[in-house]
Chain A
């Protein structure tokens, strides 16, 4: 019986020591801090100088994505530069590998702490450019590090998942930019883009 007794003594000791400090985190009221560099949903980096995304629509991220969930449309502007029309990420298909972020030569993509991405319908899982681009100002640029958790800003660990943190900081409207509206099950097929990652330009 001594083997069973020593096992039960171990669990009994733990019962009393963890009464003082339980390890349970009362999610969603409390959240565990995430590591810096956590790989959540990618987002477009906002360039304070130009007031728009840093992305130049080269399409390297769409090519690097192993599951083809990045969809890019662009056209040539009057000065010959490429202008970004559409930058969609299907959050429902993204595997959060970070290969797009590593591939981007302009540091226009970064991973966030966003993993709480549940939606009520499939089209709402498609994140368009407006949702992926969090606007910044010089004042709130200091707070950006805790919305994103890109490796280049080794600051505090983000307190909670994005975009809720961005909305609470007033950087994003509460409805999250322009999410897709709910559709009837039959209509969903037209609104979802093609299966493979697509880059199209005029």
Chain B
């Protein structure tokens, strides 16, 4: 039984021949993970698209129900595995909201530093792989990954692991930053602005890059809001909405930074928003390093942690958009329910209308510009 194409705009082919329904993925070098896209093509033009997700479903939400709150931290690392610090944070915030835990000052500053470093690292992947999708194959990717390696080395110094960090926990952070870690972060923020300039020298004014990304995949702001798109995709469409400003969590209200916005809503604007966000993250890290106080890094918690019955939802601005964790407790050591609101999943619902009318080559570019990670789409 042939699946119904979504948003079918034409029933008949305009050229000689029939409409072709073709599968893109789940094994595909450009689909950013195991993601299947059923495309209906009229020649080379996409007339209908149906995304099929679920190939990386690992039943994380169910697994969380049979493990304690502390043990569930490892699952949060593996959702958006390219931004694990940023995924640890809303889980910790939800539990802190639930149990009324107050986090020490030093831990709050460390969390901000780590999350902003993670934002830079995740945007390094996003921009690098986006450029690779456009056709520059590996050059900008390796340039951005050079800085990402430095960030991952900083993470390794602080918590022992590069990607699956399990660092930000309810009550604070797991280990203190060693002296060489602070030095490494300081040297990193000194060097980063000129490195971002280097990425821009490679890409921003490149005529071929502009020709492939400008006016491709335009998402109008009304449609973006209607689809609950969040993150850099939303801000590239002209809506200046960032949870760090709209509903500040942690101590983001103490820092001075801008929210970059673009108004065309195409792939080129999404790239520019991510570049600008990297620069703003460097600003935030500089301020946080300057004001980092001494003190405890974890709140005093009982050995057996049982939050009171209730539910809490915490949302943060992850590198990909609004990431939310809904934690329901029934008073036991294991949560009753953990539900994750992933930004990539919700942003993907806006993919199909974006693809209509574009060529197959643009499908890859548009998908790359939305920046998805299948780990959090499928959970």
* Segment with Cβ contacts to A, from B66-74, B93-101, B312-320: B66-74
A99 touching B71 by the CB < 8 A rule? yes
B206 touching A37 by the CB < 8 A rule? no
**A95-B73 Cα distance, complex, nearest whole Å:** 12
A49 at the interface (CB under 8 A from B): no
Contact of B205 among A2, A35, A38 (CB under 8 A): A2
Chain B hits for A7, CB < 8 A: 201-203, 206
Chain A hits for B18, CB < 8 A: none
Chain A hits for B157, CB < 8 A: 35-37
A3 at the interface (CB under 8 A from B): yes
**A6-B202 Cα distance, complex, nearest whole Å:** 7
Chain A hits for B166, CB < 8 A: 97-99
A111 touching B206 by the CB < 8 A rule? no
B198 touching A95 by the CB < 8 A rule? no
**A86-B179 Cα distance, complex, nearest whole Å:** 39
B154: shortest Cβ distance to chain A, in Å? 9
**A11-B146 Cα distance, complex, nearest whole Å:** 14
B175 touching A37 by the CB < 8 A rule? yes
Contact of A95 among B156, B164, B203, B207 (CB under 8 A): B164
Interface size class of A (residues with CB under 8 A): 20 to 34
Interface string of B52-91 (1 = CB under 8 A from A): 0000000000000001001111100000000000000000
Interface string of A1-42 (1 = CB under 8 A from B): 111101100110000000000010000000000111111000
Chain B hits for A104, CB < 8 A: none
Contact of B161 among A6, A96, A154 (CB under 8 A): A96
Given contacts A95-B74, A98-B166, contact A35 B208 (CB under 8 A): no
B27 at the interface (CB under 8 A from A): no
A97 touching B202 by the CB < 8 A rule? no
Given contacts A11-B139, A111-B160, A154-B178, contact A6 B205 (CB under 8 A): yes
Q: Report which B residues bind A (CB closer than 8 A).
A: 67, 70-74, 139, 146, 153, 156-157, 159-161, 164, 166, 174-175, 178, 198, 201-210
Task: A11-B202, A97-B74 are known; give 8 further A-B pairs, CB within 8 A.
Answer: A3-B210, A4-B208, A7-B203, A11-B139, A35-B160, A39-B159, A39-B161, A99-B166
